[in-house]
Structure 1
């Protein structure tokens, strides 16, 4: 009952403002204000205001929204944990298993092995100036091997 009274008062005030705007010869703005002013009364007449007020002031409905939020949060947390690969800490025995039940194998087992010999054979003979150069320092040997591999 209170919500309907408030909506009716808002509509009456809006129609009053629309009448003042029309008195100032701003008919387009007055029509727009009148249209907005009629919306609260229309919502009351359709019963939507009563339905919304029953939802807002019912504690069982809020408990339901709370449970929906908790369920959403739990699903979100499980997705984050699954994506980060923390299943081994949560589920025992899941560290080395796949869906098929077999052991996980690395995608490229030799990818971390240094490719010192592969790059030099494919590029051909080295220029004479590099052969005569002093051997590289231990600190930069990895970097120089990468550069040699790419022909730089």
Structure 2
């Protein structure tokens, strides 16, 4: 059903340990023209609890999109990506890796683990905001996301 998303906001899970980066991303998504609900968690373990609707997250909506930092405390982003893409109920959710790492090994490994795209965070705040805007325009407006 192609009009499915027009009737409800797009649910986004942001997995980001940096409060300042998370804040910039949240501000940008609030300004988006497409209705969305951004949910923020700060580490990989919490992300999996959220995705698997465990504990405090038993009644959370399933995300349509995951924005994932690689450099997380405890369970890192690649471990989260591995868990998501190996779980039959989660693997269809697009995962955007958004990280400070420009390391070729991280890029290759993320794609090998079936990340849907890999973006390096710009250092400059204006470029950072523009990058999030482009991310929104593409993933919220142009892309047809899978329904459950």
- TM-score bin (small chain): under 0.3
Normalised TM-score (structure 2): 0.19
More strand by share: 2
TM-score, normalized by length of structure 1?
A: 0.19
In our comparison, the structure showing a higher alpha carbon Rg is: 1
